[in-house]
Structure 1
Amino acid sequence: MPRKSSSNAGQDELLQEFQALVKDTEKLLQQSADLTGDKAEDLRTQIHQSLSRARATMHNAEASVRERSKAAVDATESYVQTHPWQSMGIAAGVGMLLGMLITKR
């Protein structure tokens, strides 16, 4: 059963924004094809190398985030299964605190 916490949703949003940045940079690279000269070619090469590095970094970061998230979910599920009453008590306490904070507003 897949789960998404607010942290995972924020990380997914960040990755989507980064992917959009890469796509926009690729469009810029294609539009710069009209430029001529050695400087324009150097600029295109630098942009292409930068995009390649950004893609590799994004791929590594995404894999790392997924591994850490999975480990956190597994640890939480394990704790809840071994300590169900304590987990219910903690959840009730957090719910009570949130309820008190909301009603004071």
Structure 2
Amino acid sequence: MNANTDLSAVSKEKLVTDLKVVVADAEELLRATASSAGEKVSELREKIQDRLRDAKIRLADAEAALVDKTKAAARATDDFVHENPWKAVGIAAGVGLLLGVIIGRR
């Protein structure tokens, strides 16, 4: 996986998290205005509920896609390690050495 893919996955995770917060806030707002009367308020509440329902569906789809991509990356890594065990050991040692040098400088 390259840096752009990692950044994209992190961005998608952040987007999913942010959307969950927005949905929760909107649901809280709907509960808080449940006792408000008036035709305009009722129409607005209904419209918001419909959009929230759609957003939840899209959010669930986005989460599922993110999980699928994560599983695919894990499978690809596992396959690479099984096919190239010595390369994997070398890469892990190199990363460990690099982290050691970075941490040692602090």
Into which bin does the TM-score normalised by the smaller protein fall?
0.7 to 0.9
Q: Trace 1:1-105 onto structure 2 (pairs within 5 A).
A: 11=13, 15=16, 18-105=19-106
The more displaced of 67-76 and 16-25 is 16-25
Give the aligned length. Answer: 97
Unaligned runs of 5+ in 1: 1-6
Q: TM-score scaled to structure 1, two decimals? A: 0.78
Unaligned runs of 5+ in 2: 1-8
Shift of 1:17: 5.7
Q: Which runs of 4+ in 1 moved over 3 A?
A: 13-21
Residue by residue over 1:19-48, the C-alpha shift from the partner in whole angstroms, topping out at 9 and shown as x without a partner, is: 354233223212212211111012101210
SS of structure 1 residue aligned to 2:34: helix
Residue by residue over 1:33-85, the C-alpha shift from the partner in whole angstroms, topping out at 9 and shown as x without a partner, is: 22111110121012101211210111100110111011101000000001000
Q: TM-score scaled to structure 2, two decimals? A: 0.78
SS of structure 2 residue aligned to 1:33: coil
User: Relative CO higher for 1 or 2, CA cutoff 8 Å, sep ≥ 6?
Assistant: 2
Shift of 1:86: 0.6
Identity percentage over the alignment? Answer: 38
SS of structure 1 residue aligned to 2:104: helix
Counterpart of 1:84, as a letter, is P
